[in-house]
Structure 1
């Protein structure tokens, strides 16, 4: 098949890889076509590759192996491609998270996606965002022991050390001219392929923290309440927009704090408790 300039380990979507593979082969390989690829993959349909690239067809595990072979992928590269197919076609978050874990076992993937892995760590540990906010305190210390005992619940010194290193790596904590560790840039977001996994993991963790707060914290230190309402589609949209505007207002208010003392977590949860009305039943 010839040497490729594109690296499969640099991709988080196998269809994007196939698009780039085909484009490169068309540009450098004389007479390469969808029909030629189908012959290499042992396929009867001459345009199967195009259907997969366009998202009109998925790949089975066996077909993924054929595609990897037709692309000239061998060994770890072929195995990674097949895992990437499973990751992209996962049916739910649980399977998607499991598949993502398999991708991270490939050394070349870890080398190509260091920021991706750092972000995964950021969202999977509730105390990383908490420590970043804790740095807004005037008495903040970058001593891991100080950080560990000032979180609620407390964490280990080893966890605090790892968290501080990760926050520095992401540029979320930086050393200022006075030599103090302070908040740096906003979190750099990665592609949608994995961002949703990390964010959902973060939400689950923070919901767990909220459950623990019900039993562990006095009422005056928390605010946990709920409403059960019946809305139409337009009302649901208005409620979501109002929540988003309220979040922006709270962010603006937090920016006015002259002497922040305690890191807090605010969760917003809006979800259905019943099915939508079937219009055929009206």
Structure 2
């Protein structure tokens, strides 16, 4: 039996699972499916599931009805389509929060919900590190160690969330431990929206650090370079490898004495000069 639609976050996957379930017990075809939904092309919904096209609002409504979705399930399916089509993080966030509300009202948890909340604010990642680095510390002590400072109430709320989400545990002595030493967003599109918010916050903190901290306490550098599409991909791959090496350096550190943030930023400063054609080789960059 299929899962409830509110357990999904990808409308294409739901359509595909619905089709597979119908196909398993009958001679159901993509053409018949498209006809039920009122599409002229018999292959349209298959193309949607293959990622070669997407549903629009009216098409989403017809498809939902063709799959027998009514009430909150119909509303949830439309929200999944709107989420993918949203052009801004704010729109995506609004759609996802409405999806959360529907799933919560019907006692179903969306996969990825905890990570979404975790990455939505910088406080959870910092408190998660400090709780382990400061064994026995009270919330107000952890709060004072944060930069910028936060309230003891914020720390308590964060600790409660981290415990409930299974991101930290607490032993009989009251000391906290991380269930996983490092976290990654992987390929969760839902989480990516919250990560955008976190990156903005961390970018603002970086600017403050540039102005307020002595050089001995921060390291800023950069390179301005000319690249081709091929060399761009190679640099991105090298940054990913570098990030993994850095994680391995600090992963087993038993007694950290501070929590730091490392930002990786690689973005264009010009339009594409080649109009879609690679021309020449990447030029050597200038470091700052």
Change (3 A) 1:41 1:246: closer
- 8 Å Cα contact 2:9/2:110 also seen in 1: no
Q: CA separation in 2, counterparts of 1:114 and 1:142?
A: 33
TM-score w.r.t. length of structure 2: 0.82
Q: What is residue 168 of structure 2 aligned with on the other side?
A: 173
Structure 2 counterparts to residues 37-76 of structure 1, below 5 A: 37-76=33-72
Change (3 A) 1:142 1:11: farther
Structure 1 stretches of 4+ moved >6 Å: none
> Which 10-residue stretch deviates more, 148-157 or 256-265?
256-265
- 8 Å Cα contact 2:7/2:111 also seen in 1: no
CA RMSD, aligned part only?
A: 2.9
Offset at residue 212 of structure 1 (A): 2.3
- 8 Å Cα contact 1:6/1:20 also seen in 2: no
Offset at residue 276 of structure 1 (A): 3.4
Structure 2 counterparts to residues 104-123 of structure 1, below 5 A: 104-108=100-104, 111-113=107-109, 116-123=112-119
- 8 Å Cα contact 1:174/1:183 also seen in 2: yes
Q: What is residue 14 of structure 1 aligned with on the other side?
A: 11
Structure 1 portions without partners, runs of 5+: none
| Partner SS for 2:177 | strand
> Which 10-residue stretch deviates more, 107-116 or 149-158?
107-116
Change (3 A) 1:17 1:238: closer
> Which 10-residue stretch deviates more, 4-13 or 181-190?
181-190
| Partner SS for 1:57 | coil
Q: What is residue 217 of structure 2 aligned with on the other side?
A: 221
Structure 2 portions without partners, runs of 5+: 281-288
TM-score w.r.t. length of structure 1: 0.84
Offset at residue 237 of structure 1 (A): 4.2
